[in-house]
Amino acid sequence: MVLCGADRLEEYRDVFQGGRVGLITTPTGRRIDGKSTIDALKEICDLQVLFGAEHGIRGDIEDAATVKGFHDKATGLPVYSLYEGQRRRMTEEMLDLFDIIVYDIQDVGSRYYTFISSLKNVIEDCAKRGKKIVVLDRPNPLGGVAIEGNVLPKEEFSFVGCYSLPVRYGLTPGEFANMVNEEEKLGADITVIPCKGWQRAALFPETGLNWIMPSPNIPTFETALVYVGTCLIEGTNASEGRGTANPFSVIGASYIKESEKLAKEFNGRRLEGFVATPYFFNPYTSKHSGRHCGGIHIHITDREKAKPFEMGITLLEILDRAYDEFEFLPPVAGRDKPFIQLLSGMPLDKGFKAAEIIEKIKQEQEEFQIRKNEYHIYD
């Protein structure tokens, strides 16, 4: 059984003494016994304020929704959002509320996910003000060995891609924090309370931990794994399965009439670790809401061999070739780049070839593997 940083608070009790404490967390911030990190910290230190990333501290906020400050009903503590309007950073007023900031969020291991973006911003903000940072580490659910996807160039940084990482980057939040602090020479005072018993090669099901949904549309570990590839569908006019029981595993569109044909094309690519079955659905929200959609349900047949980024970029190519109606979405208001470029970290035009992209990024993956080794906390 793996113990997370939150399970080891008593061992590191002294770390939280000598000042007012703030906590950044979500519903995943819980100990192995089910007690929330909020309640556990209240017992050992002067917890004064809570901060929520995307989805909020209680997980009751939908994707991309924003919220202003309020008081937590369960504890009475003030809560401030790190995802309010266009603001993604701590204000000077927020920084005045604590001396030590604690971060405890279970991530999903994909670059697109915004929790590490919030962590990076907090490290930068706190470094400037000399605030102490404590990361309660948690396993990377996708393991700490395999990496996939292109390494994001600096000119493509955004809140859905905040640092020069591949899509599947194989670091824990604590390791990522140390990487950013060291490489950017921020000089932040960071303490990582490490996991106990986690091996780098272990995927989440091997940890013995309960899967607590990190957001409403990542209900299972399998979703988190397939999300590495199918999140790219968010940048298109096809549905990534939001509004169904299997988001990111179900892919389709109202202009797809023959699901069997799409499934055969997908399976014909012989993508190791995956198989697709024909699927029809009517999403109740998001793209194609209320319309009858044809598509596929993507199943994982081998967790160890699956390469979800390669699957996702190949799926994009299949849709692009098979359907004239398929399009990459244009930039939304306030953005100068299409969402597919923000997600993928590269310009993608119709007619692209997945195999060429996969081959092109191999060298940068090898270079990142060497780079990331310097920040490994676990064997």
pLDDT tens, position by position, 170-194: 999 999 999 999 999 999 999 999 9
Q: Do residues 209 and 233 both lie within one domain?
A: no
Which stretches of the chain are DSSP H helices? 37-44, 92-95, 115-129, 173-183, 221-230, 259-268, 308-322, 339-344, 354-360, 362-373
User: Does residue 193 share a domain with residue 286?
Assistant: no
Give yes or no: residues 150 and 258 share one domain. no
Looking at the domain assignment, is residue 358 inside a domain?
no
Q: 295 and 238 in one domain?
A: yes
What is the CATH classification number for the domain harbouring 343?
Answer: 3.90.1150.140
Query: Does any domain span residue 364?
Result: no
- 357: in domain: no
Picking from 195, 215, 235, the residue at the C-terminal end of a domain is: 215
Q: What's residue 74's pLDDT?
A: 87
Domain count, the chain: 2
Q: Tell whether 68 and 186 lie within a shared domain.
A: yes
Asked if residue 241 belongs to a domain, the reply is: yes
Q: Are residues 180 and 39 in the same domain?
A: yes
Domain final residue pick, 215, 230, 247: 215
Q: What is the band of 61 on the pLDDT scale with cuts at 50, 70, 90?
A: low
The mean pLDDT of the chain is 95
pLDDT in tens, 235-249: 999 999 999 999 999
Q: What's the confidence (pLDDT) of residue 68?
A: 60
Q: Which of 215, 240, 266 is the last residue of a domain?
A: 215
Please report which confidence band the pLDDT of residue 332 belongs to, taking 50, 70 and 90 as the band edges. confident
- 267: helix, strand or coil: helix
> Three-class SS of residue 15?
helix
pTM listed for this prediction: 0.96
pLDDT of 302 reads: 98
- Of the given ranges (48-62, 157-171, 177-191, 303-317), which has the lowest mean pLDDT? 48-62
CB 95 within 8 A of CB 129: yes
Q: Which pLDDT belongs to residue 335?
A: 77
pLDDT exceeds 70 at position 62: no
- The reported pLDDT for the residue numbered 64 is 46
Q: Report the pLDDT value the prediction gives residue 334, as an integer from 0 to 100.
A: 72
The string of pLDDT tens digits covering residues 362-373 is 999 999 999 999
The reply to whether 129 falls in a domain is yes
The pLDDT confidence band at residue 60, using thresholds 50, 70 and 90, is low
**Are residues 192 and 105 part of one domain?**
yes
- Domain extent, residue 182, equals 5-215
Question: Is the domain of 38 the same as that of 68?
Answer: yes
CATH code, 139: 3.40.50.12170
pLDDT at 340 over 60: yes
Helix (H) or strand (E) holding 23: strand 21-25
Considering the domain architecture, whether residues 225 and 177 belong to the same structural domain is answered as: no
Contact 51, 69 (CB under 8 A): no
DSSP single-letter state for residue 272: T
Same-domain pairing of 330 and 195: no
Kindly tell me if the per-residue pLDDT of 202 is higher than 70.
yes
Amino acid occupying residue 178: N
| 73 in any annotated domain | yes
